[in-house]
């Protein structure tokens, strides 16, 4: 097992759509174990492969009910609305109130290539949407209202100029 460094804004891998996984093999199983270890070490409730620089459609999560993984996930249903102070390991230490559907349902595959489905309200719904956004190359910043997004991007760019070693 290994803990990967987590890529942070403005690393371009975070803005690139990830590729579908085609091989459900030992390498995938090892990567998923490493992603879980990296997520728990951070700590975070979810981690998508692009956040460790691997542009593949995989995420792991644990909202306190045990770990799960989704490979090649797609959102198949969303409903309602919920505003939550959302953060991201790739934009460390920042939280913004973001409105999204309260409920989400996603379908994908487990590490063995078997179909899986996860669904839930509030935190579960939020994690599914947030992690699947990562796989499309989208950060939570893109979900902010236009004016808040502009202010947040300016603040983050200035912070990264002041401290370029943080990427
Ligand atoms: Ni994130």
Residue-wise pLDDT for 9-37, tens only, equals: 999 999 999 999 999 999 999 999 999 99
Give the start-to-end residue ranges of the domains of the chain.
Answer: 12-159
**Is 131 an active-site residue?**
yes
When the pLDDT of each residue in the chain is averaged and rounded to a whole number, the result is 95
User: Distance, CA 89 to ligand 1 centroid (Å)?
Assistant: 5
**Arithmetic mean of pLDDT, 123-131:** 98
pLDDT classification of 159: cutoffs 50, 70, 90: confident
Q: What is the per-residue pLDDT across 60-117, written as a single tens digit (0 to 9) for each?
A: 999 999 999 999 999 999 999 999 999 999 999 999 999 999 999 999 999 999 999 9
User: Distance, CA 146 to ligand 1 centroid (Å)?
Assistant: 19
Euclidean distance between CA atoms 158 and 115, whole angstroms = 43
The model's pTM is: 0.94
The residue whose two tokens read 């620089």 is: 53
The pLDDT assigned to 164 comes to: 63
The pLDDT assigned to 165 comes to: 59
* CATH for the stretch 12-159: 3.90.45.10
Q: What is the per-residue pLDDT across 98-110, written as a single tens digit (0 to 9) for each?
A: 999 999 999 999 9
pLDDT classification of 166: cutoffs 50, 70, 90: low
User: Distance, CA 140 to ligand 1 centroid (Å)?
Assistant: 7
């Amino acid at each position: 097992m290994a803990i990967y460094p987590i890529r942070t804004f403005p690393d371009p891998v975070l803005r690139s759509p990830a590729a579908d996984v085609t091989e459900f093999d030992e390498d995938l199983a090892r990567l998923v174990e490493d992603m879980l270890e990296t997520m728990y070490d951070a700590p975070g409730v979810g981690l998508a492969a692009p956040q460790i620089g691997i542009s593949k459609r995989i995420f792991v999560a644990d909202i306190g009910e045990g770990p799960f993984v989704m490979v090649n996930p797609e959102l198949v249903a969303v409903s309602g609305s919920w505003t939550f102070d959302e953060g991201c390991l790739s934009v460390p230490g920042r939280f913004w109130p973001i409105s999204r559907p309260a409920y989400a349902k996603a379908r994908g595959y487990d590490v063995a290539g078997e179909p899986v489905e996860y669904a839930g309200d509030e935190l579960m719904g939020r994690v599914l949407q947030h992690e699947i956004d990562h796989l499309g190359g989208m950060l939570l910043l893109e979900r902010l209202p236009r004016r808040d997004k502009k202010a947040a991007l300016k603040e983050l760019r200035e912070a990264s100029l002041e401290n370029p070693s943080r990427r």
